[in-house]
Amino acid sequence: MADRTEGSDEATTMVVAVTTKRNCVSLSFLQLFPQPLYPSHITMDDVTRALGILEEVVGRSDCDAASLRAAISEFLNHVKGKTSGSTQVKAVNEATSGSVNIAVHGATGRLGSLILKELKEHSNPAALFSGAIVRDTYVLPTSTNAIIDVTSAAGTKKLLESLITSKASTAVIIGTTGELPMEEINTYAKQAPVAIVPNFSIGIPLVTKLAQSAVKSLPMGWNVEMTETHHTKKLDAPSGTAKKLLNAMEATGASALEGKKIPCHALRLGDVFGEHSIHLAGPGERVEITHRATRREVFAIGAVRSAVWLSRQNPGLYDELNY
């Protein structure tokens, strides 16, 4: 539709956005308002009305640039006709106060591109996409409330250095695994909420609780080992999730562990998204607790959910996400 659009750049922006999902329509539409009307003179009713007009026009088979411009013009006339001052007005920020603007660092990667897709498809109604943070420039997109970092340990370090230098206070969810830059993480956590989440799935927190409970119940003479399997492109081993699971089990001080480290074995096979198993074995019997990620999307959905939650927390380093 964009190539059929004539006229101002504003109209082009509108048409391109309208071809995507409802939420993108609303975002781009708001960007079109002339400055005096933005952001303090538009109510939620106005936004709803604008979306209604757009959806109606775009849904028609005869939709073209002229009818879109007419729709924009009708809406702007409606807003201009409103009185400001004596009329009760609300900021657009208020109208969208439930929303969290999320930027992605690592947006071109396997996981980053899925997070981008989740955000653009507006799967989580509380989350909006504010932009990608580009390697080596580290420009934070306007109005960003939370950053999801899914890069590499070196990428995380660079991002945090830039945020520390610019005295930012934007929440950062670190989904990156490997030898993370703990010094920079601790420093930034003094000025913003930060969380390290090596596994965004719902199942791993559950497996952690099961594993802790299991090792605490073990009689002496049983042994515990762990395996983790990932695709061949995974750079770090053992995985961040495995390290966190091992720490959680060891921290119970369970007597069967005899204060020793739990051995962990990493396999790198084909295109496995992620599997973690805790093996508990005693004389004549064995128990296994396993988590398998069967779709990579599960991590993208969890990343967005975590970012929404973290953006509403106070500065500090969060280990457990309580959403």
Ligand X SMILES: NC(=O)c1ccc[n+]([C@@H]2O[C@H](COP(=O)([O-])OP(=O)(O)OC[C@H]3O[C@@H](n4cnc5c(N)ncnc54)[C@H](OP(=O)(O)O)[C@@H]3O)[C@@H](O)[C@H]2O)c1
Query: For residues 44 and 154, which CB has a smaller minimum distance to ligand X in the complex?
Result: 154
Report the distance separating Cα 311 and Cα 146, nearest Å: 6
Query: For residues 155 and 193, which CB has a smaller minimum distance to ligand X in the complex?
Result: 155
Strand order in the sheet with 275-282: 264-268, 223-230, 275-282, 285-292
Tell me how far, at minimum, the Cβ of 197 lies from ligand X, in Å: 5
Within 183-302, strands assigned E span 193-196, 223-230, 264-268, 275-282, 285-292
Q: CA 312: distance to chain centroid?
A: 13
Residue nearest to ligand X (CB): 109
> Is residue 112 within the footprint of ligand X (CB under 6 A)?
yes
Under DSSP, the state recorded for 114 is: H
Name 133's bridge partners: 105
> Is residue 208 within the footprint of ligand X (CB under 6 A)?
no
- The tokens describing 25, both together, are 């329509």
> Is residue 151 within the footprint of ligand X (CB under 6 A)?
yes
Report the distance separating Cα 148 and Cα 115, nearest Å: 9
Q: Pick the binder of ligand X from 33, 188, 299, 309 (CB under 6 A).
A: 299
- The tokens describing 207, both together, are 């497996």
Asked if residue 215 lies in contact with residue 259, where contact means CB atoms within 8 angstroms, the answer is no
Task: Count the residues of the shown chain that bind ligand X, applying the rule CB under 6 A.
Answer: 22
Query: For residues 69 and 305, which CB has a smaller minimum distance to ligand X in the complex?
Result: 305
Q: Pick the binder of ligand X from 106, 181, 193, 238 (CB under 6 A).
A: 106
Query: For residues 106 and 181, which CB has a smaller minimum distance to ligand X in the complex?
Result: 106
Q: Site residues for ligand X, window 163-202 (CB under 6 A)?
A: 175-178, 197-200
- Selecting among 122, 157, 158, 230, the annotated active-site residue is 230
Q: What does the per-residue mask of binding to ligand X show for 254-293, with x meaning CB under 6 A?
A: ----------------------------------------
Tell me how far, at minimum, the Cβ of 229 lies from ligand X, in Å: 13
- What is the number of alpha carbons within 13 Å of residue 5 lying toward its C-beta? 18
Establish whether 230 is a catalytic residue. Answer: yes
How many angstroms separate the Cα of 64 from the Cα of each of 1, 24, 25, 70, 207? Answer: 8, 19, 16, 10, 53
Q: What does the per-residue mask of binding to ligand X show for 53-92, with x meaning CB under 6 A?
A: ----------------------------------------
List of residues contacting ligand X (CB under 6 A): 106, 108-112, 135, 150-152, 154-155, 158, 175-178, 197-200, 299
